[in-house]
């Protein structure tokens, strides 16, 4: 990937990982420029945030604190993996679900 593309999209990619609102802000920031690097990381971040919210809601119906801790650690590892990739300017797919996020969120241009 071209170094200038990474440099232009790095800030937008990092913002996407901050919160779900950050992912939406990054999406709107990338609407004009359509930076490939930012688009990749926005999809990853959006997927991580939605995964966290949806499984947290599901686990809220159960009273198993250990399952919640395990899920929280799993989500944190995915987030750190994706966020560090954005900081370093690399397009690294998050383990297990990253390919799915790229397919599911193709509407993010």
**Tokens 């899920």 correspond to what residue?**
71
Instruction: State the total domains in the chain.
Output: 1
Three-class secondary structure assignment of the chain: CCHHHHHHHHHHHHHHCCCHHHHHHHHHHHHHHCCHHHHHHHHHHHHHHHHHHHHHHHHCCCCCHHHHHHHHHHHHHHHHHHHHHHHHCCCCCCCCCHHHHHHHCCCCC
Could you report the per-residue pLDDT of 80-97, keeping only the tens digit for each? 999 999 999 888 899 898
Residue 101 · residue 43 · CB < 8 Å: yes
Residue 100 · residue 43 · CB < 8 Å: no
Could you report the per-residue pLDDT of 13-61, keeping only the tens digit for each? 999 999 999 989 999 988 888 888 999 999 999 999 999 999 888 888 8
**Which structural domain range is residue 84 located in?**
3-104
The answer to whether position 73 is within a domain reads: yes
The answer to whether position 87 is within a domain reads: yes
pTM, entire model: 0.87
The answer to whether position 109 is within a domain reads: no
């Amino acid at each position: 990937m071209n170094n200038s593309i990474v440099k232009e999209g790095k800030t937008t990619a990092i913002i996407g990982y901050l919160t779900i609102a950050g992912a939406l802000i990054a999406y709107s920031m990338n609407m004009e420029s359509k930076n490939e690097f930012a688009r990749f990381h926005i999809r990853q971040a959006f997927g991580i945030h939605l995964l966290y919210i949806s499984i947290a809601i599901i686990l809220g119906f159960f009273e198993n604190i250990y399952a919640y801790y395990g899920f929280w650690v799993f989500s944190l590892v995915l987030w750190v993996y994706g966020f560090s990739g954005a900081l370093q300017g690399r397009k690294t797919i998050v383990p297990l679900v990253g390919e799915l996020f790229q397919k599911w969120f193709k509407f993010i241009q």
